[in-house]
Structure formats: C-alpha cells, structure tokens
Chain A
Amino acid sequence: MGSEHDFDALEASRYEARSSSDPISILSIRGVSRRFASARGDTLALTATDLEVAENDFITILGPSGCGKSTLLRIVAGLDQPTSGEILLDGKRITGPGADRGMVFQSYTLFPWLDVLDNVCFGLRERSVARKHQLEVAHGFIRKVGLSGFEHHYPKQLSGGMQQRTAIARALANNPRLLLMDEPFGALDHQTRELMQELLLGIWESEKKTVLFVTHDIDEAVFMANRVVVMTARPGRIKLDRAVTLPHPRHYSVKTTPAFAALKADLTDQVREEVLATQAAQGQVATAGSV
C-alpha cells in the first residue's frame, strides 16, 4: 500500500504539530475527568486521568462495566467533552471529532444505504479525494480485512464479523493517527472474535498504527496489546499500566504459553478486585434504597 500516505496537506500539518511537542508521545491525556449530571445528583464517571500514548502503541483498556473506559475513549474521539483536563493529539488540543481519530464501535455502524465499497470510501469522499484514488485505497483495505468479492454487498447482507471487518477497513482507509476501538468484537461469537483479534493484530503489525482498544475480555487484552491499562471501579481511574512483552508476530498459540497465562492470571486478579468493588458499591446503593 503506501498510496494512502499521500494526503499531502493533512500529513504536512500533522508533521508540523508533531515537531513542536514530545517526540515520543502522540497522545497526551492530562487530568481528564467526566462528571454526568442527572436528576438524582451528579455521577463522577472518571476521576482525573493521565495517560501518554506513544507512536505505534497498542493499548488495551480493561475494567469493570461502568468504570468509565468507554467514556475515556469517547472523549479522545471528541464525541464527549471532559469536565476537566485536556487531551492533546500531536500537541494540539482535541475539541471535537475528526478524521485523525478513526473509531470502531461495538454496535454495527456501517451506513446501511452504502455497500461495502462506499462505506470504506466514506471518509475519503468527505475529503474530496479523487474517486480513482478512493477506490484504490478502499480495495486495498477491503483485501486486508479479507472481504474481496463483497465490495457490492450491503451491510444487511453481511454477518456481524464481516460488518466489523468493514468498519475496521473504513476507519483505516482514512489513515488516522489513532485508531479507537470500543469493544468492537463484544457482540461477536467466541470463534469469530478470536479470528478478528488475529486479523487486527496482523494489520497493526503491518500498518504500524497506534491503537486504543477498550475491552472487558482479558484474553483479548493480553493477546493484542503491548500495554494493558486496568481501570478501577467507578469513579474510574487508571490502576495499573502493564507492558506486554510477548514477541511479535504473535500467533494465536501464544495464548497457551506460561508467560501469557501468568500475565492473564495477574490481570484477572486485578480486574476481579474492581468488579467486586463495583458490586459492593451497587449492593450498598440497593440496601440504602430499600431502607
């Protein structure tokens, strides 16, 4: 490929921004918190959180339900605003969503009126890339996610796994600085999910992308990441940030190695503690409510 790298203006502006900031970190999350106001009172979903993401990191974020991991990802995407703190991408403050941060959602978000090819072209067309070039890029990514021959299928004609593969191709076709994934395989069956993990890992190894990946599947988190971040029960904050040094390219058989098992056992304990804390907090609320 390589053809997707010549959106000159965009690349140039990114390069300038990068040169003026930390050379290693491309994304800086600084003191980001989020409070949701509701009739019953405010809920602090996320306490002031800091995280530095380096070029080519694959960070998986683990945590119990409601710990604010999806909220954090949505704030990075610009789909939600932090109550305090700021996020810098290549030294520039994030104020809203943009093509430099591609996102894959847990729900199937392909545009049902567009076929696979035009879904993948969506972002390119938005930037008025010539149609010939759009098709070149789109076909390349459709091949990478293994959907050649399905270019003219509508989303409803595809299985869940195929829809998510298309969504990954659609996000990658934009050549984003950062790929944000919010439990993208959460709705898939176990076998499909494992294949998708290998597919994504293979793409990450070859494309040199930077990925933030939210999940509650510890296997998935360890298998794909070079860093696993565990968050605490609500109000969420980062509890630990662990490097995963399993060698690349990773084959699915790595899941049966002792190193993998040890890391998984440790993280399972860490996450379990938070899940129990969440349940205890909910129990308290329930008891208080029944009195």
Chain B
Amino acid sequence: MAPLKAVTPGARIALGVAFFVLFVAAWAVATLGGFVSKTFLADPITMLKSGWVLLTEMGFAHDIGMTVWRVLGGFAIAAALALPLGVAMGAYKPIEAFFEPFVSFARYLPASAFIPLLILWAGIGEAQKLAVIFIGSFFQLVLMIAVAVGNTRRDLVEAAYTLGASDRSLVTRVLIPGAAPEIAEILRMVLGWAWTYVIVAELIGASSGIGHMITDSQALLATDQIIFGIIVIGVIGLLSDYLFKAVNRRLFPWAQLGK
C-alpha cells in the first residue's frame, strides 16, 4: 500500500461493500448475541421486519414522500434565489461588499434554532418546514457560489476581453460557464446538508414525515423503527448524491477531463 496509489474499480467496490458487511455483522453480534438490551438497540432482523410493517401497513411510504418533497421544495427555493445572488456577488465586488458580511453572519445561525420562531410566524404547516430548509441552505449556497464565480481564472477573463467580450457577456459567457461544474458540486453538497435539517424540522410540530415517525417511535421505545427511519434517510441521501454526480458528469464532460 503506497500513498496516493490508485485502487482498481473492482477492489474499490469490494472494499466499500466490505465495510457495510462488517458494520452490520458487528451490530448483529452485539444485539443477537445478547450483549446489548433490546430496549436500547433493536437487532437487524427485527429492524427489517418492522420496516416492512411500517411500509406495508402503517403508510410509511407517505411519510417518505412528504420528507422528500419538503427537502426538494425548500432546497429548490433556496437554490433559485441563491444562484442569481451568488453569481452577482462573485462577479461584482460592490454587491459582494454589500451582502457578504451579513451572509457570512447568517450562515452560522443554526437553522434548527429558528424552528420555534418559524412555528410562531408560519404555524406548523408546510411553510415552516420549507423555511427551515431554506434558512439552512440559502446562506451557505450564496457564499460558496460567490466564491466559485469570483475564483474564475483572471487570464481567461483577460483573454475574453481581448476577444471583444463586453462586461455583460463576460458574466454570461465566461464567469458562469467556467464556474458551472463547481456550482453543481456545491448544490450537491448542500442538498446533503438539507437532509439533516428536514428531520430536525419534522421532530417538532409535524404530523407526517420520517422525522415525525421517529418521534412517535421514541414514545413507544421502538428502536427498530427509529433505526429503520435513519437508514431510509441514509439510503435516499446516498441515491440522490449518486444521481446528482451522474447528472454533473453528463452536463460537464469537460470538467471531468484529466481528473
């Protein structure tokens, strides 16, 4: 094993799967072997069985649908507003100077701490859930997009000007296409964070969603259901991540070259 030496694709998959197998095996030994009380941690088999019951009899699919919708809805609104503002901040320094200090401050405000306020303002309906996702992702997106756009290679900017580019087309034909793959990566990363906010939003004042199911299960000490819920979140997160990566690779083939 030499540092930085590439691993073959087959070995990469095998190693990745091996960790999951080991993890589940350790869990099974701890629980089925009687080392941990069932009250604190359900075993993998019970977890799968109650997962099946949740899905087939208790309408958990609807909860999953609600949660996915909230994440995507809140994230879409945040991205739709953060993109133009981030690009404007990255391209025009006075706009950056105006917004950057406030946005830098706002990004450190914990989205979950706003939940009581948001319930006061927006009630316990969908608007409140979307608002939590929005607060959690908007400020992060704006700052990172602004940096991505602002980091455009200066020699490319100069080359564009000597080819007759106007200020406006410098933004549309150089800054935006140049930063696009990085912006897509930023969106992928922040979408991952949005998943953690939605569950917190659903733990309080929700009547549906994965987070709501987890709170209900806590009251019943149903650790099998809680773990199933957590695993579902992980799986959906992983799938959306792979999907995003695949789309990015397709949209920006030039950015993959030489990697």
Residues of chain A with a CB closer than 8 A to B252's CB: 113
A174 within 8 Å of B (CB atoms):
yes
Most B C-beta atoms less than 10 A away, residue of A99, A111, A123: A111
Q: A111-B174, A113-B177, A113-B178 are in contact. Are A170 and B254 (CB under 8 A)?
A: no
* Residue B169 lies at the interface, judged by CB distance under 8 Å to chain A: yes
The interface-forming segment of A24-32, A101-109, A183-191, A264-272 is: A101-109
Q: Which of B63-71, B155-163, B191-199 contacts A (4 or more CB under 8 A)?
A: B155-163
B156:A98 contact, CB within 8 angstroms: no
A150 at the interface (CB under 8 A from B): no
Contacts of B158 in A (CB 8 A): 77, 79, 97, 103, 105, 109
User: Are B164 and A77 in contact, CB atoms less than 8 angstroms apart?
Assistant: no
Contact A113 B254 (CB under 8 A): yes
A164 to B160, CA, bound (A): 15
Tell whether A113 pairs with B180 under 8 Å between CB atoms, given A154-B254, A156-B254: yes
How far is A193 from B237 in the complex, measured between Cα atoms in Å? 51
**Closest Cβ neighbor of B253 among chain A residues:** A154
Residues of B within 8 Å of A109, CB to CB, are: 153, 155-156, 158-159
Kindly state whether residue B46 has any CB partner on chain A within 8 Å: no
> A102, A126, A157, A170 — which one has the most chain B CB atoms within 10 A of its CB?
A126
Chain A 64-82 interface 0/1 with B at a Cβ cutoff of 8 Å (1 = within): 0000000000000111000
**A171 proximity list for chain B (CB < 8 A):** 162-163
Beyond A109-B156, A126-B169, is A79–B162 a contact (Cβ under 8 Å)? yes
Q: B59 at interface (Cβ–Cβ under 8 A)?
A: no
For window 161-180 of chain B, which residues contact chain A by CB distance below 8 Å? 161-166, 169, 173-174, 177-178, 180
Q: In the bound complex, what is the Cα–Cα distance between A126 and B164 (angstroms)?
A: 7
Whether A98 lies near B258 (C-beta < 8 A) is no
Q: A77-B162, A174-B164 are in contact. Are A156 and B178 (CB under 8 A)?
A: no
Q: Which B positions have Cβ atoms within 8 angstroms of A? A: 153, 155-156, 158-166, 169, 173-174, 177-178, 180, 252-255, 257-258
- Apart from the given pairs A77-B158, A114-B177, 7 other A-B contacts in the complex at a CB distance below 8 Å: A96-B161, A98-B164, A105-B155, A105-B158, A111-B159, A113-B178, A126-B163
**Could you pull out 5 A-B pairs where Cβ atoms are within 8 angstroms?**
A103-B158, A109-B159, A113-B180, A113-B254, A156-B257
A-side interface residues toward B, CB under 8 Å?
Answer: 77-79, 96-99, 101-103, 105, 107, 109, 111-114, 122-123, 126-127, 154, 156-157, 167, 170-171, 174, 180
